[in-house]
Amino acid sequence: MSIKSLTYVAIFGLFWGSIAGTAVDQFGMYGGTPITSTERSNAELRCMNINPQNSVDLEQIMGLWYGSEIIVHSQDFPGTYEYDSCVIIHLADATDQIRLSQANRGYGYGNQDYNRNQNNYGRTSTTQSSYLDSDEYPSRSVQSQQKYLRLIWSERDNNLEYTFNYTTTAPGQWSNIGDQRGSLVTLNTYTQFTGTVQVVKAVNDHLVLTFCGNDVKSSIYTVVLTRNRLGLSSDELRSIRNLLSRRGLYTETIRKVCNGCGRLGGSLFALLALLLVARLARGRGQ
């Protein structure tokens, strides 16, 4: 086989690897590519200038959302790719549960709800969040403003659970706390996300969330969600991309998911199973 042919095979292998598997696989690091000072500066600026929507009614956006497309704003294979999987996201308020856990466990992160060994889909966390330290626990006024929510990302037969905190004065910006857990964490391609999720747009039938990692090598990507299983129209998606561009988030790659909802069943089953396990675990802890 000629050198030219081998080169084509290698390029095809890299391309196929980028679109195979779950859509979330690629959202950790830049794949080992060295980061220049310009890229680092651009990533920081993009995270700062997103201008999240602060008039967010959190109660209205809780519940089930279906993925329409994932827009990658950082280094990736340019183009539009269709995935044969469906992304389903479930949002739920976790404020009462976490506050109760803090009160019962001395504001520690090692309570039963967060012990990764209590569940068959996680692992023990090594991350301690400083705001949960009893010596640095916020005042009552700050505590009353601080809320918590859980985001469960389900895809195919796998799932991923995030926990975020936010304040009532800035409900459109969520900061993750602790490690993610779930079956997707066990995949070799997954890197723990540390950073923020910003609500770019929240209306009745669709939700636009931008994940922005703290690490300079982290990807910046936006998840476009809808209440409608059939997805959003081309005009609606184009309008969302234009909105992101005005915020300095240019489209590098588009990953279309839930096309025709062909893989919806597996994602729903994984999500329902995780929610059931989580509810049983919380029930034992009360």
Which tens digit of pLDDT belongs to each residue from 226-237? 999 888 999 999
Residue indicated by tokens 């059931």: 276
- Answering whether pTM is above 0.85, one says no
CA-wise closest residue to 195 among 209, 175, 178, 181: 175
Domain that holds residue 191: 29-285
Q: Tell me the backbone φ, ψ of residue 229, rounded to 5 degrees.
A: -60, -25
* Whether residue 15 has pLDDT greater than 50: no
Residue 5 lies in a domain: no
pLDDT at res. 235: 96
State pLDDT tens for residues 51-83: 899 899 999 999 999 999 999 987 667 899 998
CATH number, domain containing residue 92: 2.40.128.20
Report how far apart, in Å, the C-alpha atoms of 155 and of each of 89, 227, 228 are: 9, 16, 17
Run of H or E residues at 246: helix 234-246
What pLDDT digit, counting tens, does each position of 16-33 carry?
334 445 666 545 433 334
Look up residue 168 and give its two tokens: 């009532």
pLDDT tens per residue across span 138-193: 556 666 689 999 999 999 889 999 999 999 999 999 999 999 999 989 887 778 88
C-alpha–C-alpha distance, residues 192 and 195, integer Å: 10
Render 153-171 in DSSP notation, one character per residue. EEETTEEEEEEEEEETTEE
What is the total count of domains within the chain?
1
Domain membership of residue 266 (yes or no) is: yes
Tokens 């220049």 correspond to what residue?
36
Q: 210 by DSSP, 3-state: which?
A: strand
> Percent of the chain scored above 70 by pLDDT?
59
Is the residue at 204 inside a domain? Answer: yes
What number is the average pLDDT over the span 97-121?
60
Mean pLDDT of the chain: 74
Name the residue among 127, 147, 126 with its Cα closest to residue 138: 147
The verdict on residue 16 lying in a domain is: no
**Domain assignment present for 84:** yes
Q: What residue ranges in 156-236 does DSSP mark as E strands?
A: 158-167, 170-176, 195-202, 206-213, 220-226
| C-alpha 213 chain-centroid distance | 10
- In the predicted model, what is the mean pLDDT of residues 99-126? 54
Q: Is residue 7 domain-resident?
A: no
8 lies in some domain: no
